[in-house]
Amino acid sequence: PSCLQVRNEFYKDTQGVILVYDVGQKESFDALDAWLAEMKQELGPHGNMENIVFVVCANKIDCAKHRSVDESEGRLWAEGRGFLYFETSAQTGEGINEMFQNFYSAIIDLCDNGGKRPLSSVGVGFTKEQADAIRRIRSSKDSWDMLGVKPGATRDEVNKAYRKLAVLLHPDKCVAPGSEDAFKAVVNARTALLKNIK
């Protein structure tokens, strides 16, 4: 049988899922979206992803020098979806016990809650807009891109774009992983742009 035929047996009646990626392989992290999409499709229109406990394991943290997906990026992806997030090393065992203990207790909470994921299992304290802004800033190629303004924008346009992002990402207001770095990057981008605008 194909891999999918074997896998789809596992999707039915699932209560918990562990998604694992290798922190040194960006493509394994990028593939998480495809795994989720496949699962959603296999569960069909009556399947409910809300009734499943998801754990994301950022694995191989023992290979720190080869790391290409940092903690805040992984945590943002996981917690933005209401999933639990753990940094683990199958090699050294770091984080593994903690991950399984939390995973099992979340599944027990799920069963006690009538098969629905308790809302408190992961309190997402940030919005999709904040998460998307942080992701966009991380992947920006220059200061214009970072503020979301076109090269040649006026001082006024730069300041307006800056204010909007600063309010959205201010560390006092935004608890999304990576918000502090994104906020600093936005401050620096504005400074750099205003230097060059007469």
- Tell me where in the chain the CATH 1.10.287.110 domain(s) lie: 128-196
What average pLDDT does range 71-96 have in this prediction?
88
pLDDT for residue 1 is more than 60? no
What average pLDDT does range 104-133 have in this prediction?
73
| Secondary-structure class of domain 3-113 per CATH | alpha beta
C-alpha dist (Å) from residue 197 to 13, 154, 162: 59, 7, 15
Token output for 120: 């408190």
- Tell me where in the chain the CATH 3.40.50.300 domain(s) lie: 3-113
Token output for 60: 């191989």
pLDDT for residue 123 is more than 60? no
Which 8-state DSSP code applies to residue 52?
Answer: S
Q: Check residue 4 and give its pLDDT.
A: 54
CATH superfamily of 128-196: DnaJ domain (1.10.287.110)
Output the pTM of the full model: 0.65
Taking the C-alpha atoms of residue 53 and residue 136, their distance in angstroms, rounded to an integer, is 28
Q: How far is CA 129 from the centre of its chain?
A: 13
Express each pLDDT in 129-166 by its tens digit.
888 888 888 888 899 899 999 888 898 999 999 999 98
E strand or H helix at 57: strand 53-59
